[in-house]
Structure 1
Amino acid sequence: MKHSSFFDKIHWRVLTSLLLLICGYTQGQRPQPEAPYGIHDPVMIKQDSTYYLFCTGMGISCYSSTDMNHWTKEAPVFKEPPAWAVKAVPGYKGHTWAPDISYHNGKYWLLYSVSAFGKSTSCIGLAENVTLDPDSKDFKWVDHGKLIQSVPGRDDWNAIDPNMIYDQDNHPWVCFGSFWDGIKMVQLKDDLSALKEPEAWFSLAKRQRAFNGQDTAAGDGAIEGPFIFKKENCYYLFVSFDYCCRGLNSNYKVMVGRSRELKGPYLDKNGVPMTEGGGSVVVSGNRRYPGVGHCGVYDFNGQDYIIFHGYDRVKGGMPRLLIEKLKWDANGWPYIDGLD
């Protein structure tokens, strides 16, 4: 009788689980991924009670969550590679890099990067949506095409890794850049349709680099992934130093400088300008995550968070989403308590 009762309970639990699973699909619910792996260059935003995460991937990968712990993979932003990008960047087939999401004037704006790896044949595009809820009847991504382009031999900067920031008068700017001559910034028209004229370009951060004899070479001054976050009366420029994308050989780290003015100069804790290689460490790798970087910084419900990816030794160097509470010391510098 004991064996019969035991197997009856197991049978009932299995049947109940199957019924719940079927009901979940009937109600349109999607199964949760086991862990947020495979995530590169994450950015996040909150709409109502749901967090939406966008990251590098085919068509721009998208995830949703109600608690920032359990994530559901959504459909990519683009079902097909944007035709303009295929034409502009030879070899581009839809794998889209380093997006940025923001909310402005009642719409969600998504910046994204298309590029040839290791080259400055790159473009930054812009898309919009009135909602991020894929179940809404109003959900539709509208692509506005190319916003910024870098051309080898003409530009000594790389048009990838964009981040939208608004100044004290609510005018939009885009900071961007990877390797080459570092991090740049340019103002947009207020309707985000194009660069404001006359164009004015600003240098925010760079590192000394060696050249290999080619004018357009990236060199070894590894700096990329800019993100500007305003805290009280200061703008904080977060960037990533050193190398990503090498699995367990990555040595990525997040650095920061700050300025009273959006256009800089951004200085580190020691007063060194970021345009002269300055930067103070916010988070660097540990034994489990040898390389961590490409961050976004957000205030959700009065708590500041830093999100980034790390190459996880437990999974053989796979990139994983990492989220940490961002704290501020007595002198107004950001830090975290440490990686798990």
Structure 2
Amino acid sequence: MAQADAAYPDPQAITGQQIVHDPTVIKLTSGQYVAYSTGGVIGARLSKDRVHWTDEGNAFAAPPSWWYEYNDTGDPWAPDISYRDGTYWLYYAVSSWGTNHSAIGVATSASGLPGTWTDHGKVFSSGTTDTWNAIDPAIVRADGKLWMSFGSYWSGIRMVELNPRTGKAIGGATVHHLATRPDAPYAVEGPAVVHHGRYYYLFASYDACCSGVNSTYKIRVGRSTSVTGPYVDEDGTPLLAGGGTLLLAGHGRFVGTGGESVFRDKGRDVLAYHYYDAGDSGTPKLGLNELSWGKDGWPTVR
């Protein structure tokens, strides 16, 4: 089992349907919270109070046909939900384990609710000759432009500019490099970029996911005054040189914390992630913690 460290706060207590993996959460204009995640055809959970969650099926009734180019079951991973210009945008990845033959797609909805999404196909893809992996998308706006961070293993975390009208990668866009590790397999993935104060903060998951109580996932963070980097950690070590300030690691029964995203609620930033419950045979569950921002600008988990 992964080593525990009692110094980290436990996640907020929740009830109802707690099983989730790679969650993305948003508070809808209706006042409800929705969480989408890996599993099913993008699994959906709803809550009225951020405490009690119900299983609401899937974002899609069936996989769009193009997903089967990337795996035999049309299985989507690691969604990201955002809201702009009166529309909800849901990004997601399709791939299979151990390959970078991968693609990121996008769908839109007026309400953000499961069953209301219209798919618009591929945003960006990677192939076996690329040195990056087009999975784990996360959207951020910066200086009037729209950006997507992504990446898993291979050479780590990357970023491309998107066309705000289509939500897709600009043709010929530069693939910026944000974070990696010195040694293979370059175990960093699942980025999320948040603007706070003068800085953009890059959150990412490090080490091993998806092994139940043996998972070693942990969340690290770096920051930059530019959305495309260079990002450094609290000690000044570049994230391109293996840096990353440790934000949250496994502790007690909350093992392998990662697959994170950040959303705004009641004027605060909230970290959403999954952990593997050592008290429940390593079942992946939803973790929620508010973030505090210190005088030095660095976040901590509450």
Do both proteins adopt the same fold according to a TM-score greater than 0.5, normalized to the shorter chain?
A: yes
Q: Does 1:162 align with 2:137?
A: yes
TM-score (norm 2): 0.92
Counterpart in the other structure of 1:264? 229
Partners of 1:279 and 1:121 lie apart in 2 by: 27
Kindly tell me: are residues 262 and 34 of structure 1, through their superposed partners in 2, closer, same or farther at Cα, counting changes over 3 Å? closer
Q: 1:318 aligns with which of 250, 270, 283?
A: 283
Q: 1:65 aligns with which of 47, 57, 75?
A: 47
Q: Which structure has more RCO (C-alpha within 8 Å, separation ≥ 6)?
A: 2
Partners of 1:267 and 1:190 lie apart in 2 by: 28
Q: Which has the higher strand share?
A: 2
TM-score (norm 1): 0.82
Deviation at 1:263, TM superposition (A): 0.8
Counterpart in the other structure of 2:34? 52
Counterpart in the other structure of 2:294? 329
Counterpart in the other structure of 2:99? 119
Deviation at 1:242, TM superposition (A): 0.4
Cα deviation 1:70-119 (Å, max 9, x = unaligned):
01111311211110111x2142x132110000011111000001111111
Q: Which has the higher helix share?
A: 1
Deviation at 1:209, TM superposition (A): 2.1
The structure with the largest alpha-carbon Rg is 1
1:172, 1:192 within 8 Å by CA — same for their partners in 2?
no
Deviation at 1:133, TM superposition (A): 4.2
Counterpart in the other structure of 1:77? 59
1:231-250 aligned at under 5 Å gives the runs 231-250=196-215
Counterpart in the other structure of 1:207? 181
Kindly tell me: are residues 49 and 90 of structure 1, through their superposed partners in 2, closer, same or farther at Cα, counting changes over 3 Å? closer
2:71, 2:94 within 8 Å by CA — same for their partners in 1?
no
What is the number of residues matched between the two proteins? 288
Partners of 1:34 and 1:67 lie apart in 2 by: 11
Helix, strand or coil at the partner of 2:122: strand
1:36, 1:321 within 8 Å by CA — same for their partners in 2?
no
Large movers: runs of 4+ above 4 Å: none
2:17, 2:55 within 8 Å by CA — same for their partners in 1?
no
Q: Does 1:289 align with 2:238?
A: no
1:86-101 aligned at under 5 Å gives the runs 86=68, 88-91=69-72, 93-101=73-81
Q: 1:37 aligns with which of 14, 18, 21?
A: 18
Question: Which is worse superposed, 103-112 or 327-336?
Answer: 327-336
> Which letter does structure 2 place at the counterpart of 1:274?
L
Cα deviation 1:241-263 (Å, max 9, x = unaligned):
00110001001100000011111
Deviation at 1:38, TM superposition (A): 2.6
Partners of 1:50 and 1:193 lie apart in 2 by: 24
Partners of 2:89 and 2:183 lie apart in 1 by: 34
Counterpart in the other structure of 2:8? none
Identity of paired residues, percent? 40
RMSD of the TM alignment (CA)? 1.5
